[in-house]
A = this chain, B = another copy of it.
Amino acid sequence: MIVPLDEGVRELVGDGDTVALEGFTHLIPVAAGHEIIRQGRRDLTLVRMTPDIVYDQMIGAGCAAKLVFSWGGNPGVGSLHRFRDAIQYGWPRPLEIEEHSHAGMANRYVAGASGLPFAVLRGYAGTDLVDQTDTIKTIECPFTGEKLAAVPALNPDVSIVHAQRADREGNVQLWGITGIQKEAVLAAKRSLVTVEEIVDELDPVPGQVVLPARVVSAVAAVPGGSRPSYAHGYYARDNGAYQDWDAVSRDREEFSRWLAEGLGAQAPLPGKAG
């Protein structure tokens, strides 16, 4: 249940898997993403409402064949240059995208967590998103005849989240902005949770979400595992790191150097870096 991070990633994340690393600005599982890069996973379908710099890094490193998302950017800074490079120029490999709104993605996770094949929402009507994906359809209310949007459930092979604490049995506790993490874990076939610390007892905290051990496949203690994002009650967001990423990520060579030196990982595609 409690494992080292590298072992957790090795056991739970396979090439070709659909993988969701969730976190809404807060508690982003950055260390787990870096471990996926280091282990050289390939052909992943990456899922996330708000892909930010860790997804930029994974995409730039060539881990992803597809991205399912609703907002991809460097929050407070600007664009994701590796993401753009993949979409606009196919570097280091072409990236297929499946694009939704936040409301749609959130409801897709809810359906996944609920064991339903789809969710219903008021959304997408009149937008050009509808024409770009076959995962937005129309459904009619059987009582009123009203037309609404339907989106299919998301059920990742593995969901990865970061949390403040876990106990020794693997019960997980997170608080602050808890986003979509509960639904992401409940929707997934397997799940990995990195935590700031492992404690004997999870003292209740206002606003907490508890993920019972039986829906968690593995827990890894990774203090600082969501840096440069933040862990409410543990450390603040490193806004400078988000700004610095802009420069690193603008240039393929600079990025490849970061991969090798910053992460100890291979350049994305041998012979093509730069």
Residue pair A142, B122 in contact (C-beta under 8 Å): no
A122 in contact with B116 given A206-B205, A206-B206 (CB within 8 Å): yes
**A119–B142 CA distance with the chains assembled, in angstroms:** 10
Contacts of A116 in B (CB 8 A): 120-122, 148
Give A106-137 interface residues, CB cut-off 8 Å to B. 115-122, 135, 137
Minimum distance in angstroms from A270 CB to a CB of chain B: 39
Chain B residues with CB under 8 Å of A172's CB are none
Main secondary structure of the interface of A (DSSP, over half): loop
Q: Which of B118, B135, B146 contacts A120 (CB 8 A)?
A: B118
A101 within 8 A of B: no
Given that A206-B204, A206-B206, A208-B206 are contacting pairs, would A146 and B121 also be in contact in the complex, using a CB cutoff of 8 Å? no
For A120, list chain B residues within 8 Å (CB).
Answer: 116, 118-120
Q: How many residues of A contact B (CB 8 A)?
A: 25
**Contact partners of A150 in chain B: CB under 8 A:** 141-143
Q: Which chain B positions have C-beta within 8 A of A142? A: 118, 137-139, 150
Q: Assess whether B143 is in contact with A118, with CB atoms less than 8 Å apart.
A: yes
CA gap between A150 and B140 in the complex, in Å? 11
Chain B residues with Cβ below 8 Å from A135 are: 143
Q: What B residues does A138 contact at CB under 8 A?
A: 142
Instruction: Tell me which residues from 180 to 203 in chain A have a Cβ below 8 Å from any Cβ of chain B.
Output: none
In the complex, the count of this chain's copies comes to: 2
A137: B residues at CB distance < 8 A:
142-143
Q: With a CB–CB cut-off of 8 A, which chain B residues contact A33?
A: none
Q: Which one of A137, A141, A150 has the highest number of Cβ atoms from chain B below 10 Å of its Cβ?
A: A141
Query: Closest chain B residue to A141 by CB distance?
Result: B117
Quick check: is A92 within 8 A (CB to CB) of the other chain? no
Q: How far is the CA of A204 from the CA of B207 in the complex (A)?
A: 8
The reply on A144 being an interface residue by CB < 8 A is yes
Residues of B within 8 A of A115 (CB): 122
Interface assignment of A268: CB less than 8 Å from any CB of chain B: no
Residues of B within 8 A of A141 (CB): 117-118, 150
Is residue A152 within 8 Å, beta carbon to beta carbon, of the partner chain? yes
Please, which residue of chain B has its CB at the minimum distance from the CB of A119?
B120
User: Residue of B at shortest CB range from A207?
Assistant: B204
Residues of B within 8 A of A205 (CB): 206
Q: Could you list which residues of chain A lie within 8 angstroms of chain B, going by C-beta atoms? A: 115-122, 135, 137-139, 141-144, 146, 148, 150, 152, 204-208
A-B contact list, 17 entries, CB within 8 Å: A115-B122, A116-B120, A116-B121, A116-B148, A117-B144, A117-B148, A118-B141, A118-B142, A118-B144, A119-B120, A120-B120, A135-B143, A137-B143, A138-B142, A139-B139, A143-B150, A206-B208
